[in-house]
Structures are given as C-alpha cells and as structure tokens.
Structure 1
Amino acid sequence: MTEETITTRSDRAGSASARRKRGILLFLRDLLVIFVVAVLVSFLIKTFLIRSFFIPSQSMEETLVKDDRIIVNQLVPDLTPLERGDVVVFKDPGGWLPARVETPQPPLVAAVDWFLAFVGLSAPDSNDHLVKRVIGLPGDHIVCCNALGQMSVNGVPLDETYVALPPGESKVSRDDFDVEVRDDSLWVMGDNRYNSKDSRYNTETPLEGFVPIDNVVGRAFVVSWPIDHWMWLDNYPQVFDGVDEGTG
C-alpha cells in the first residue's frame, strides 16, 4: 500500500467526520431557530390574540370550577364588541381584591415561571384579575329582584339558566339593587350568586362596583383544562333577548 493511498483514505475519513460534525451543527442550529421562532410566535399570540388564565375561586360555579384553565380572546373588546352574557377577565378596578403578599421563589423557579408566562403557558397574574359575567352594558338599567326573584335589564326580566343558587332558593341575588351602568363601564356578576364578590358587593370602592371597559383583558371562550371539563363558554343570547328594546 502506497503512502498516497494511505493519505487519500485518511483525507476521506477526515472529510466524512467533518461532514458529520457540520450536519450536527446545522441540526442544532435549525433546532435553535425553530425554538426561537416558536417562542416569538407564542409571545405574539399571548400579547395580541389569546391568553390563558386559571380560575382562583368558586364565584363562577357551576360554569367555571376553581383551578379550571380558560383561554381568553384578547380581541375583545378592542376589535370585537362586548355583549351581555360574555364571561370576561378584567384587571381589578381597585379594592375588589385583598392585598397580596408576594411569596419569594428560588431563582431557578422564578426564571422558569417567567419564561412560561412570557410564552403564555403560565398565568402568574391570575390572582390579580377577576372573571365574571357581563350583565349590564353602558346605560343599562338593572333592577333586582321582582316577585319571581328575577333580575331585569331595561325592564326585561331575565331567565338566567346559568345561575347557581342554594337549594330551595329562587331569588337570583340575596340583596336587592337598582343601578344604571355608567358610560364606558360594565356591571358584572358571578354565576355562583350567593358566593360571588361582584359588582353588587363593591359599591363602596372608588368606582362603586362598575368595571371600566378599559380594564377588560378579553372574553373567555373555552375551558382548556382539565380535559373532562373542556367546553365552549356560551354567552346565552336568548337570556338577554329583547333587552336592547327594553323600556329602561
């Protein structure tokens, strides 16, 4: 075997090894590009289109159960108008939620939580938001309760099929009220009417129980977790049929 033949084989082996290394580097580069693009797409979706929140309380039962995860359409109300019956997530208007003490986290846990929140897979700010059902839009006149225990909007009694009441109770609110919704604001209530600190019980706050539309993060449209509770969220248009033509 000549020296030239040995050199040629060595060169071929070295070339094959270099190609393998280059292939591995290209594969790793492509994985990194895919990961970065996925993160950016997730961030943009979370920022402009949809977000995930978890349910921290029992105020929306039986529609939403504590620890359910919901997906929120953030195009509402900026591009798509709010409607009565919508289940909305909104920032605390001030005084609705008790002051919360931040629990220190180990640096690694905090970093992971930040990243998951960045891409929309975690919702660490769920405890700073509330979820309720829109009952009244700006200008609506809401009264509760009539002789049948119903609430009315603009003089139209509502048959609220989504409401959870204690056994034997037919009155949809423990306490009577009579309000006219402010401009650019909403009147919201939980479906679990006897266990919901909603607009009715925040009238002593600076905004007197009304929620500015600017505080709305979006409309919840689906329960995404747990799987056995997966469902689309209805806004029950039949319940509010005729309200726009009501006498006020």
Structure 2
Amino acid sequence: MGDVAVGARSGHDGEEHRGRPAESAVPAADSAVTPGSDSGAAEDDRVTGEYSTAEGEGPGGTARTPKKPRSFWKELPILIGIALVLALLIKTFLVQAFSIPSDSMQNTLQQGDRVLVDKLTPWFGSEPERGEVVVFHDPDNWLAGEPVADPNAFQTFLSWIGLMPSAEEKDLIKRVVGVGGDTVECKGTGPLTVNGKALDERSYVYAGNTPCSVDDQGGQFKVKVPEGSIWVMGDHRQNSRDSRYNQSDKHNGMVPVKDVVGRAIVIAWPVNRWDNLPVPDTFDQAGLNARSAAAGLTAAPQGLALLGVVPVVLWRRRKQ
C-alpha cells in the first residue's frame, strides 16, 4: 500500500515538524499501513475507500473526495455477462443437464427426469466403465423415426449455455455393459454374461423384464467389443432400442468412446427423485475383468526382460 498517501509532500514538511516530539508508530490492524506510507492517509483510505484530488481545497491546494460508486444498472450487464461465461464453461467442461425423453432406462430413470452428466473426467483420459450410465451422441441414426423436440429460440439458448437440460435430441442414455475386449452374450431369457460371468441385474433391470429378450431381431447375441468402443443396453430390456437392435449399423451396434458425452452421476430433478447413479455391485465381481489378466500376461515377459537387463547394465558400469 505504498500508494496510499495522495499527492507530493512539501519540502517544508520537515520544517513544520522541527522541534516537535516524534510520534510513536503504531501498526494498523490488517496491515492497513505499510512501510513508506503516511499513517494518517492510510487510516483514511482504510475507512473511506478511494479518493480523487480536487484543486483549491486543503493544504497545498488539493483535497480528496470519494469517487461516486458505479450505478447498479451499469454493473448489471457485466454481471450477467460473467454469469453466462461461467455457465458456458461449466456446461462445456464440467457438468451438463440432460432430460430423459423415454422409458428405456426404467426404473433407474423415469421419463422427465433431469440428470447431471460429468464431462470433466473424460478430459483427463477417463473412459466409460461397465455398469455406468452414460450419455452419448447418436452413433448411426439410432433415433430414426423417433419424435424430435422443437424448442424455441430461448430454450435453445438456455440449453446451449447449460442453464436448461439439453434440447439436443441426438443424444441417448444407456448403461454400459461391455467395454473394449469384452465378450457379451445373451442366450434365452438370460442371464446376460460378460466374459463368461453371469450378471445379477435384479437391482436395476425393469421389474417383470428378463435380462435377455427372446426374439430374432437382436435379442439373442454374442459379440466381442472392439477396443475404443462400448456395448450399451437399456435397463427396460423389452423397451429399449440399444446396441442389440442396431447391429446392422456401421459400428455393428457398438458406440465409439469418442461419441460419449459423459457419465450420468445424479438425478437432479424432480426433487423427490434426487439420487446418485452408482455402478451396481455385480460389475465388481471377481474374474469379470478378463482384460486385466490378459494385460498382466502381456506385460509379464516385458517385466522379466527388464529385470534381466538391469544386472547386466550394472555389471558393465562397474567394469568401466
């Protein structure tokens, strides 16, 4: 606060105080006075705020008067602009609201629910995991024939900045069942198996539905999920047009990871439906993650080779 004192001090200042006893210096609270500042001026600044100078008043022809505060109506557009920028940044990088348009995820999600989707973790390289509920862009015309909403301009704007659930009807929401490297299979009415392990889906599959659908349209299948893709299914198994019924598209029913918007983490609306969306326990069962074992076997020879090379390098360095 070296600039607290205003105006230049006169060269006669020392003469005015000559012969007078020096006043003891007392530190001001909250460091209001800093070295090199006039203590009186600092006290004035701490109490009354900023000052401007006006000629013709006070010693030396100058006086300090408080600046007029800016009008609220002048500051309002700035505040609105800052709020909009923050909302846009949050929607782009952190979380976004989505509205559930159908019954395909009952009873986990009901039509009309609003969910918040985590968009931050994918920026750090995180990929969808089995059991997560994810929002993704339509991979290849999955929504053909579905009714499309027609929001007005104001609703479109609010959706764009993230202050309203997304009005983009090209997004879908399903549960991840298989990830890259998994083998997913349905026989008869189920259970659904992943890498040969049966899933216990009673906690989230719609009551009265069977885990697998007995039909010749895609309900009976055995697929291997390629790397960089996921296999998704709705919790309302007999009322969900998911990966099973899109195997004739260009991705063979898979959803490219790059098309995933993010993971739905919480039901935000209505209030009586507030809840989080955890991964069901069945996806944590031992032996389900066949990819980890395969990765370990692949890495093992490399690790052994590294351990074998280290002693040789140390021996050569000793000789040198």
TM-score range, shorter chain: 0.7 to 0.9
CA-atom RMSD, angstroms?
Answer: 2.5
1:202 paired with 2:243, answer: no
- The residue number in structure 1 matching 2:88 is 43
Provide Cα deviations, 1:20-47, integer angstroms capped at 9, x if missing partner.
xx65x52222322221111110000001
Q: For residues 221-245 of structure 1, what are the alpha-carbon distances to aligned partners after superposition, in whole Å with 9 as ceiling and x for unaligned?
A: 0111111111101111443422114
Please give the residue correspondences for 1:1-248 in structure 2 after superposition, counting only pairs within 5 Å.
23=69, 26-79=71-124, 80-98=126-144, 109-110=152-153, 112-145=154-187, 149-160=190-201, 161-166=203-208, 170-174=210-214, 175-242=219-286, 243-245=288-290
Structure 2 gap ranges (5+): 1-65, 295-320
Give the partner amino acid of 1:67.
G
Q: Secondary structure at the match of 2:222?
A: strand
Contact 1:165 1:172 in 2 (8 A): no
| Relative contact order, higher structure (CA 8 A, sep 6+) | 1
SS in 1 for 2:289: helix
Equivalent pair of 1:84/1:240 in contact (CA under 8 Å): no
Percent same amino acid among aligned pairs? 39
The amino acid that maps onto 1:188 is V
Structure 1, unmatched stretches of 5+, are 1-18
Residues 1:39 and 1:185: Cα distance change in structure 2 (over 3 Å): same
Asked if 1 retains the 8 angstrom alpha-carbon contact of 2:181 and 2:225, the reply is yes
C-alpha displacement of 1:158: 0.6
Matches of 1:104 and 1:47, distance apart in 2: 22
SS in 1 for 2:169: helix
- Does the 8 A contact of 1:158 with 1:240 survive in 2? no
Number of equivalenced pairs:
220
Name the TM-score, length of structure 1 as normaliser: 0.80
Query: CA separation in 1, counterparts of 2:143 and 2:210?
Result: 28
Q: Any idea what the Cα deviations from partners look like across 1:186-216, whole Å, max 9, x if unmatched? A: 0000000010000000011111100000000
Q: 1:158-181 deviations in whole A, cap 9, x for unaligned? A: 101211142xx5443333210000
Q: TM-score, normalised by structure 2?
A: 0.63
2:182, 2:290 within 8 Å by CA — same for their partners in 1? no
